Every structure is written in structure tokens, then in C-alpha cells.
Amino acid sequence: MLRPVPLDPKSAPLPQRIKRLLDDADKRIERLVHERRETPMPAFVPSDFVDTYWALTAIEDLGLAPGHRFCEWGSGAGVVTLLAATLGLDAIGVEIEEDLVDLAVALGEDHEIEADFVCASFVPDGGDEILDDLHAGDQQDCTWLRSDGQNAYELLDLEPDDFDLVFAYPWPGEERMVFDLFDEFAAEGALLLTYHGQEGLRLQRKAKRKR
């Protein structure tokens, strides 16, 4: 079961290093979208990087996560993963679109930020059943959650429950799938930070199951 965690991030001028990163990322994303205008990437919409940065900062400052291993499910251009890395998190981004992974790697290297990115699916083994059940019940296409491609956890030699904090920006209508995947596979006590467009950010913790 996921339980909400109160979070009241501060709002302040960004550190110059972060501002340079976000400005550069915006330009690279705009350029890639233009280059891919004939074959657009499905469900690629960047989140609010400024609000997410301050949310991650608050989580770290308050020591809310049980540890410092971070994973972004569907990392896109890798910006949130890189922001997490600047805060001292052991950050990994998982993205199934190769062009976006290439952009993320280059962005990190050019800004001298250490983070790892893998071109793979973040849906764990066994997660297909959750996607199939929810998809059948909702009668809608699953545009953002994809389980084709390589399994990220095999490539990383890690398990989903090795991560202390996960970030995701689910496509509208797919929030429940993300929540259920996290509830099924994440470690007890781990945090899930999600962005929901105009509704903003939500922070939830996987509660201990009753024995």
C-alpha cells in the first residue's frame, strides 16, 4: 500500500549550475523534437524540472528516503536523473527511446555530472500482468508504459527493490499502473515521486505490509 508523504518544497533562485543545466537541456530537447518531427517520440513531454529539483532537494534535506539510490522510470532527456545526481544521489535513468538516452548521456558528460542511463524497459519481470489487467479494465491504450525492449534490471544487475527513491511522470490515465508497479516491486519504505502536470508533484511511501 502506498501512503502519501507531506512535502512542502521551498521555492528559491536556482543555483547557477542547475540553471545552466536546465537552460542547456531545454535547447537540446527542442532541437531533438524538431529533428524528430517526422517521427515523433510517443508520450514524450518533459516534466516541470524546477519544481522537481526543489522536491528532490527537500527529500534529501529532510532525509525522507531510506537511502541514496535513485531511479527514474522513463527518464526521457535525463534531466531529473541528472538533478538527482547533483544532490549526491546514486542516480540511474531508464529510458526505452535510444535518441533520448543518447541526449541524456551527452548532457551529463558535458555538465560533468555522474549518472547512469540504460536504454531498456523499467517494467520488471512479472509487471506485464499488472499492465495487462489494468489495461483491460480501463479500455485504453498504454502509450507511455512499455515492456518491450531489454529488461533494465538485468542490464544493471539490480532489482527494483534496490532503489530508495523512484521518480516517474506517468501519462494521464496511466498513474494507477505506475502506482501498482511500485507497490508490487519496490522495497518497503521506498519513496515514489510522481509529476502530474497541472496537479503538480505527489510523494508516496510504500508502507510495510501487515504480517
Over the stretch 170-199, which tens digit does the pLDDT of each residue have? 987 789 889 999 999 999 999 999 999 989
Confidence label for 139 from pLDDT (cuts 50, 70 and 90):
very low
Residue 118, C-beta contacts closer than 8 angstroms, at least 6 positions apart: 92, 93, 94, 95, 101, 150, 152, 155, 156
15-206 CATH: 3.40.50.150
Confidence label for 138 from pLDDT (cuts 50, 70 and 90):
low
For the chain, give the longest Cα–Cα distance: 53
Confidence label for 82 from pLDDT (cuts 50, 70 and 90):
very high
Confidence label for 40 from pLDDT (cuts 50, 70 and 90):
low
Q: Higher confidence at residue 46 or residue 41? A: 46
Average pLDDT over the chain, rounded to whole?
Answer: 89
Among candidates 161, 153, 145, which has minimal Cα distance to 116? 153
Q: What is the mean pLDDT of residues 37-63?
A: 85
Q: What is the mean pLDDT of residues 132-154?
A: 65
pLDDT at 10: 84
Provide the residue ranges of all domains of the chain, joining segments of one domain with +. Answer: 15-206
Burial grade of 102 (CB within 10 A; 0-12, 13-18, 19 or more): middle
- Do the Cβ atoms of 90 and 69 come closer than 8 Å? yes
Question: Residue 209 pLDDT more than 80?
Answer: no
